[in-house]
Amino acid sequence: MLKILLLSLLLLPTVLSLPLTIIGASSTLASFILPTLPSHYDTLTLVTGPTTKSHSTLSSILPNASIKTYPEFDEIQECTGDCLFITPPSSFDSYSETLKSVTEKFAGKIILISSAGVYGNIGGTVTSATAIKHPLSPRQQRIYDGERVILSHPRGVVIRLAGLWTEERGPHRYWIDVGEVKGDPEGIVNLLHYADAGSAALKVLENLKDLNNIEDNIVLVSDGNKPITRKQICEITIEGKKWKGKRDMPEFIGGETKRGRPEKEERREYIPSGELLKGWEGGRSFSNGMN
């Protein structure tokens, strides 16, 4: 009987347990990811900015996680498991050097949250990860150089996200608060709700779980619907339930945008792509989300 019991225990399916480090755990995007993290990440390290301001909130969400500031994390020489890097380039003096340091710490998979803005002023429908139009603006070049660092890692993956938004955050909020919009009013903006971006990142993590050889290592994520113009975004916002009667239509003043896009832009549409995105269901439209 004892032999039968031991044999049955050996035949039970193995429960996968993995260590995961999330860098940028106090970011808005992370707030949509952390509450729904899969349970198989039994050893979780959350890395925030230079202060402990957000640590108590993070502890209430994931009480068993180890929480560190970035300077504390930077002192660690070697890390086990996988890494999800969310922190934007603007948080570091040298983005590429920071990412190089991360690649030297991890032998496991490294997933970098990046921006679809790296495609630049490219026309047409964008589904190819290699559809980059050079030269890039300084901001785009900084993002692109950081991506190259991660993709040089044998298990590095880049997730390029379209313009992130919630009712309270995003280009629409900036434009209606400032009262003016730079760039072409008919210029196309591709959007993605933070919740959909979070679920896409989790889907990529899930699809990576059983892969050792990663071939399709760039993922493009957008709402998947027809993108809309800056003018349409502003019109939808001021007519939506949140801002109707509280904000006026901003003035369109032309010129380059603060992200270096020209006054007249080619139309570009980002279509979600990448095998690692298989099974993802997202894509709430801006017009539906604001009404």
C-alpha distances in Å from residue 28, one per residue of 42, 104, 167, 170? 23, 27, 13, 11
- Residue 141 confidence (pLDDT) above 60: yes
Q: C-alpha angle 171/176/177, rounded to 5°?
A: 100
Most confident stretch, 37-46, 70-79, 201-210 = 70-79
Q: How confident is the model at residue 6 (pLDDT cuts 50, 70, 90)?
A: very low
Radius of gyration of the chain (CA): 21
Report the mean per-residue pLDDT for the chain.
84
Is the separation of the CB atoms in 180 and 258 below 8 Å? no
- Residue 210 confidence (pLDDT) above 50: yes
Is the separation of the CB atoms in 241 and 291 below 8 Å? yes
Which residues does 256 contact at the CB level (< 8 Å), separation at least 6? 182, 183, 262, 263
* Predicted TM-score (pTM) of this structure: 0.86
- Residue 275 confidence (pLDDT) above 60: yes
Q: What does the pLDDT read at residue 2?
A: 36
- Residue 3 confidence (pLDDT) above 50: no
Distance of CA 168 to the CA centre of its chain: 18
Q: What does the pLDDT read at residue 1?
A: 40
CA atoms 253, 257, 263, 268: torsion sign: negative
- Residue 129 confidence (pLDDT) above 50: yes
Is the separation of the CB atoms in 73 and 123 below 8 Å? no
11-20, 113-122, 127-136, range with the lowest pLDDT: 11-20
Instruction: Write the DSSP assignment of 69-102 as a string of letters.
Output: -HHHHHT-S-B-SEEEE---GGG-S-HHHHHHHH
| Residue 264, both tokens | 């007249």
Tell me which residue of 289, 274, 278, 285 sits closest to 127, measured CA to CA: 274
Distance linking the first and last C-alpha atoms of the chain:
65
Tell me which residue of 25, 192, 176 sits closest to 115, measured CA to CA: 192
Paired with 5 in beta bridges are none
**What's 266-284 look like in SS3?**
CCEEECCECHHHCCCCCCC
Average pLDDT over residues 228-246: 92
Helix 138-151 × helix 95-105 angle, to 10°: 10
Tell me which residue of 209, 100, 198 sits closest to 149, measured CA to CA: 100
Tell me which residue of 95, 224, 249 sits closest to 162, measured CA to CA: 224
DSSP character at residue 244 = T
Average pLDDT over residues 231-260: 85
| Residue 244, both tokens | 């109707």
- Residue 84 confidence (pLDDT) above 60: yes
Is the separation of the CB atoms in 79 and 101 below 8 Å? no
